[in-house]
Amino acid sequence: MKKQKSMKFRTVFWAVSIISYLVFMVATLALVNRFMMQRALSEAESKSKIILDRNLAVHTYFTKDLKPSVFKFSDECMPKEYFDPHWMSSTYAIRRINEYSKALQDEDFYY
């Protein structure tokens, strides 16, 4: 009878140990996965902010610096309807800059 209790105790002990180990491993994997997802999201937000800030800076430069001086000069020699996106459109400039940037980088950002 004593041997049977000892076997039963060992079986229960090993079963509880294995189940505890599995629960611990699943919890650890879930926590690591959650941490990695939060880290990836944080990094993506950081990179997107850098890209959007750069684009906003280009728009601001076109609006506050380039366009006023170019339009002042072009008013004298070009008709009012004239529009050349190469030097008059900040959106066109940003798209072209992004094309050049994609050619230089391994990573492909789309926004």
User: With contact defined as beta carbons under 8 Å apart, do 85 and 92 qualify?
Assistant: yes
The 10s digit of each residue's pLDDT in 33-76 is 999 999 999 999 999 999 899 889 988 998 898 888 888 877 77
Indicate whether 15 belongs to any domain: yes
Q: Can you give 25-82 as a three-state secondary structure string?
A: HHHHHHHHHHHHHHHHHHHHHHHHHHHHHHHHHHHHHHHHHHHHHHHHHHHHHCCCCC
Indicate whether 71 belongs to any domain: yes
The 10s digit of each residue's pLDDT in 62-72 is 889 888 888 88
Residue for token digits 């959106």? 91
Indicate whether 111 belongs to any domain: no
Asked whether the whole model's pTM tops 0.85, one would answer no
Indicate whether 109 belongs to any domain: no
Q: Mean pLDDT score of the chain, rounded to an integer?
A: 86
Q: 79 or 45: whose pLDDT is higher?
A: 45
Indicate whether 27 belongs to any domain: yes
The mean per-residue pLDDT over the stretch 86-102 comes to 85
* Three-class SS state of 22: helix
Q: Which domain holds residue 6?
A: 2-104
Domain count of the chain?
Answer: 1
